[in-house]
Structures are given as C-alpha cells and as structure tokens.
Structure 1
Amino acid sequence: MYPDTGTSSEDTETETCEEPKRPTRPIFHSESMKQQSKEYYYKSTFILIKAELLKIQKSQSRH
C-alpha cells in the first residue's frame, strides 16, 4: 500500500511540474490561432446571415 501511494503522488507531482513548463508557448500560439479562426468563423457566418436576411427582405417586398 505505501509504495503505491508514494509512486502515485510522485507521478502527479512530476506531471504538474513538467507539463506547465513545456506547453506555455504552444498554448499561447494555439490560443491566438483559435481566436483568429473564431473571428473568421463569426465574420463569415455574420455575412451569410446578412445575405439571407437581404434575400428574405427582397422576397417580402416583392409580395
């Protein structure tokens, strides 16, 4: 029992110590990329919705 708890606590310690150091740069990079793709996605969907609304307005004004 004692060796098991010792190894498990060591594992969690090494994970928490090592992991945050490595991905700091990639995380920031991917976050900015995510932000850019989000903005692009929202812009494109906004344009599509606008176009659809214009179509609806035009079709309603004809009738």
Structure 2
Amino acid sequence: FTQLYGFYPETLELLEKNINAFLSSEEATNLKLVNITIKEIEERTFPNNEEEFNAILTLSVNK
C-alpha cells in the first residue's frame, strides 16, 4: 500500500521545513519514505514573476 502526499509552498526552504515536519510527525511514524519528487513552477505574468515549488512524497506503510 502506497500513499501520496503533496506539498506546495512558495519557497524551497519552506518546502524543506514542511517535509521535515511531516516526516517527524506522529502521522508519519509507520511510514517509510520511498521517493521525493520536487518540481519548480515559474509563472511569468508581467510585471511579476512568481515561483512555486511542489513536492510529492511517495511513502509506504511499515507493517
């Protein structure tokens, strides 16, 4: 059984903080990290450029 969790913060530092907080939480106690996919999305809308990062964590349940 594998679950997917997604994170979508505005900075890479916040993304890392969110992932680490989740992995050390009680909810993740019985989960094993299998893979992390991180993607940067840049939206260019004059006059601003906006960046967004997302991560998908693939986790498996420890039995």
Both proteins in one fold, TM over 0.5: no
Larger helix proportion, structure 1 or 2? 1
> Normalization by structure 2: what TM-score?
0.26
> Normalization by structure 1: what TM-score?
0.26
Larger strand proportion, structure 1 or 2? 2
Structure with larger Rg:
1
Larger relative contact order, structure 1 or 2 (CA cutoff 8 Å, min sep 6) = 2
